[in-house]
Amino acid sequence: MSAFEEFGLHPSIIRAIEDLDWTLPTPVQAEAVPLILGGGDVCICAETGTGKTAAFGLASIQQIYEYRTTTTSSKKKNNTTKVHGGDGGTMSGKIPSPYCIILEPTIPLCEQTCKCMKEYSKDLQPPVNIHLYAADARGPKGVQPDAIVGTPQKIKNSILRGQLDLSRVFMLILDEADDLIKNDQDKILAKLCDDIKSHGERDASSEGPRVQVVLTSATLASEEVQDMIKLLTLNAQWVDTRGSILGNVLPDTVHHAIYRIHPQDDIKPIKKGCKNPNASVPTDGIYALDHTTGIQSEEIKLKKPKIAVKIADAYKMDRCMVFCRTNLDCDNLESYFHSLDGIPPHRHVSVEEMMTSTAGYQYSCCVVAGARGRQHNQEALEAFKQGVIR
């Protein structure tokens, strides 16, 4: 028996876990999955990459499958037809009516979570239908969703337009609640969650449970997150794998270092393995013509890209991610990397060209940023995952 089987998950979900080559649950999964399956409200505080998505994803799929199966059996005993789209079937002219709503702060996170949920539930029969509600996406037509993953604004708009029925909802998940609150510029989050709970809530005499709330966050200590917890949860169980005192410490698996750069530092030349080791570094040019102390800032801007290359080479990084302050900084760094490979400065190189080129780029790279557009960012991330872009 695998460790995941001890949670009591459906054999089809276990097969999906085995396909992912997972052997043991992470600490947050070991604590959170049983609590979520227990039906109570749960607040999860853990670092990114610790398995939070799988914790609420596996548990919610199991809950949906059990509740749907139980409800369907009850309907059949009473000689009624299939529960409102609840056997993974089609919906004929009916408004989408999910069992579970998962709120994410951004469209990329919606897409990522939706993809993960589909992986966990792929072998279940009848299937658990996971629909994406973000940007222009609203799930396949004619198929009743069991769970929807979306941004608060998209969910709100769908409700206001009568395109979403909340009467079957028994589970509400707020993923990355701190970012949800941070992005809530129109102040719709609390009202939206309250509407979902009140429309999905059943009293003691009604069929079905109360709406269960699961909330995840990088920190549960902020006043805003605490207020949200008080508003939405009832006697919530807490899972905190970060610790209240050392909550901001990096995980042990991360090696972190600081490289201090001084304007007068002498940076050794880039190794000669690339086509153009003496490539010039583009900057924003703010201090380029300034004869005051601001020139020191320009010197640092000229040195940082070279240092980034030397660090990547020194650690023999097959792949790495470099975070920049602005879109322009991203563009300039990309241009510099391309110049090292002999590409003329500021010549645009598409993701497709990077993937199909036989030029053998040593510093192949691509920007993922708001200014580049959603489709470009998706293509770039996929190429990065495949190892085409370093």
Before 126, cis peptide (omega within 30)? yes
Please check the confidence at residue 295 and state whether its pLDDT lies above 80: no
Q: Which two tokens stand for residue 286?
A: 């703010």
Q: Is pLDDT above 60 for 197? A: yes
pLDDT recorded at residue 98:
94
For 319, list phi and psi in degrees, rounded to 5.
Answer: -145, 145
359 pLDDT band (50/70/90 cuts)? low
| Cα distance between the two ends of the chain | 39
**Mean pLDDT score, 38-60:** 92
Extract the tokens encoding 344: 């003329």
The whole-model pTM stands at: 0.69
Task: Confirm if 306 and 281 have CB atoms less than 8 A apart.
Answer: yes
pLDDT higher at 288 or 276: 276
Q: Are 225 and 240 in contact (CB under 8 A)?
A: no
Query: What is 3-240's CATH topology?
Result: Rossmann fold (3.40.50)
Supply the pLDDT for residue 372.
Answer: 81
Which band of pLDDT confidence, cut at 50, 70 and 90, is reported for residue 213? very high
Q: What is the rounded distance in angstroms from the CA atom of residue 141 to the CA atom of residue 159? A: 17
Does the pLDDT of residue 234 top 80, yes or no?
yes
Where are the CATH 3.40.50.300 domain residues in the chain?
3-240
- Tell me the CA distances in angstroms from 70 to 75, 77, 166, 208, one per residue in order: 9, 11, 19, 10
Q: What's the CA gap between 203 and 3, in Å, rounded? A: 36
How far is CA 196 from each of CA 143, 152, 172, 205, rounded to the nearest angstrom? 21, 11, 8, 19
Question: Which of the four pLDDT bands, split at 50, 70 and 90, describes residue 245?
Answer: very low
Strand residues in 54-143 grouped as ranges (E): 100-103, 130-134, 137-138
Question: CA–CA separation, 253 vs 243, rounded Å?
Answer: 17
pLDDT at 81 over 60: no
Q: Which residue has the higher pLDDT, 92 or 295?
A: 295
